[in-house]
Amino acid sequence: MRERLPARAATVVDDYERHLASERGLSEHTVRAYVGDVVSMLAFLHGLDGSEDADSTDVVDSGAESDGAGFEGAESDGAAFDGADSGGARADGPATASGDDTAGEPDGLGGLDIEVLRSWLAQQRGEGHSRTTLGRRAASARTFTAWAADRGLLATDPGLRLAAPKAHRRLPGVLRQEQAADVLGASASGAEQEDPVALRDHALLEMLYATGMRVAELCAVDVDDADLDSRLVRVFGKGSKERMVPFGLPAERALRGWLDTARGRLVTASSGPALFLGARGGRIDQRTVRRVVHDAVESVPGAAGMGPHGLRHTAATHLLEGGADLRSVQELLGHATLSTTQLYTHLTVERLKAIHDRTHPRAQ
């Protein structure tokens, strides 16, 4: 669909993509999602069929939080798409796909106004997209129109008037503290055989649970980023933001076992400085980490199936249950906004309610 955009609109998309990647330093996946939404929106503006773009995927996978680092202005006021009809078309219709922009509209954005934005989202709603997806795409549109207005490509910013339905935020599944202990105990038993992959798996599980790191952050950690004596690891989060995250004695022991005994047995010419390596010696990839976490959690009876993000949720929940304050947890997890961290307070309350309902004699 991007290739079918009028040339001037395609140039705007190219400039926007460079802005996201170079000036804002967003991840490749986030840039792809932003650009996919903009392509879909501009395709609708220019009357192209099948405006749904293949690259317009959710920024985060199942269970992942949107913490504001990707989509600024993502808070919505819960309003519906005022002025949009179910069919998604404007009263006067979007521009026809003639291949050229209207004269006097050198930027390819002529006609992009609040009615087009609302109609585009209404079309998405008619196609059955979830409230979460609609909210994300509305936020993406607002970010683009703000950039375009700042660059002088739009006379005014129509995104300022764009609202989207507030997404239903599902509480993620987490491990109970004893279940987390069982998962790590099982991986420690496997590591006792000193197989290099088993030692690696135990170390990465301990680090994920100890630090609450995102899977991409874990994969990007280099050997020199981990200070075992101080029990601190340097993490580069969304937008290349750097933070220092502490970890405990069990994680330190697991890391030492991996570094002293096993990493050298997997090192190849392609290893570089990566802390965690794949079986062939290259930097470990996210798919491998997800498989390791899923298999480890699945081995514990009664544990909810989850991947690395589930361990992140689990770490945050256990910190709060242990008395940590929200600001500290926000800093540890690298959340851009406190509102994301507050999700975990709701989670702990729900767990307390479940315990009360199960144990109190007058709960029912």
204 and 299 co-located in one domain:
yes
Q: pLDDT band at 77, cuts 50/70/90?
A: very low
CATH number, domain of 308, equals 1.10.443.10
The predicted structure's pLDDT at residue 185: 94
Q: Which of 142, 202, 214, 318 is catalytic?
A: 214
215 and 337 co-located in one domain:
yes
147 and 213 co-located in one domain:
no
Q: Would you say residue 172 lies in a domain?
A: no
Type of residue numbered 341 = T
52 and 93 co-located in one domain:
yes
Map tokens 């544990």 to a residue. 303
The predicted structure's pLDDT at residue 84: 37
**pLDDT tens column, 111-162:** 899 999 999 999 988 888 888 888 888 989 999 999 999 999 999 999 999 8
Question: Which domain-ending residue is among 161, 186, 206?
Answer: 161
Q: Which of 2, 125, 202, 309 is catalytic?
A: 309
Q: Are 223 and 273 in contact (CB under 8 A)?
A: yes
**pLDDT tens column, 216-241:** 999 999 999 999 999 999 999 877 78
105 and 76 co-located in one domain:
yes
The predicted structure's pLDDT at residue 91: 36
For range 189-199, the mean pLDDT? 93
The verdict on whether 214 is a catalytic residue reads yes
70-74 LR contacts (CB < 8 Å, sep 24+): 70/26, 70/30, 70/33, 70/34, 70/238, 71/136, 71/139, 71/140, 71/143, 72/139, 72/142, 72/143, 73/139, 73/142, 73/143, 73/146, 73/159, 74/135, 74/136, 74/139
Return the closest-CA partner of residue 20 out of 39, 34, 1, 6: 34
Question: Which domain-ending residue is among 130, 161, 192?
Answer: 161
Q: pLDDT band at 173, cuts 50/70/90?
A: confident
Q: Which of 2, 46, 118, 312 is catalytic?
A: 312
Q: Would you say residue 306 lies in a domain?
A: yes
Q: Would you say residue 269 lies in a domain?
A: yes
Q: Would you say residue 63 lies in a domain?
A: yes
Q: Would you say residue 250 lies in a domain?
A: yes
Q: Which of 118, 136, 238, 318 is catalytic?
A: 238
Q: Which of 46, 118, 313, 335 is catalytic?
A: 335
Q: Would you say residue 171 lies in a domain?
A: no
The verdict on whether 346 is a catalytic residue reads no
217 and 332 co-located in one domain:
yes
The verdict on whether 202 is a catalytic residue reads no
Rounded to the nearest integer, the mean pLDDT of the chain is 80
157 and 184 co-located in one domain:
no
234 and 267 co-located in one domain:
yes
204 and 132 co-located in one domain:
no
The verdict on whether 309 is a catalytic residue reads yes
For range 165-172, the mean pLDDT? 60
The predicted structure's pLDDT at residue 112: 93
For range 104-117, the mean pLDDT? 76
Total domains present in the chain? 2
199 and 342 co-located in one domain:
yes
d(CA 66, CA 243): 18
Question: Which domain-ending residue is among 96, 131, 161?
Answer: 161
Q: Would you say residue 167 lies in a domain?
A: no
Identify the residue with better confidence: 51 or 172: 172
* Chain-centroid distance, C-alpha 88: 28
Q: pLDDT band at 165, cuts 50/70/90?
A: low
153 and 236 co-located in one domain:
no
Boundaries of domain holding 72:
2-161
Please give the structure tokens belonging to residue 276: 């965690």
The verdict on whether 19 is a catalytic residue reads no
Least confidently predicted of 32-41, 56-65, 140-149, 282-291: 56-65
Share of the chain above pLDDT 90, in %: 48
Identify the residue with better confidence: 245 or 132: 245
13 and 153 co-located in one domain:
yes
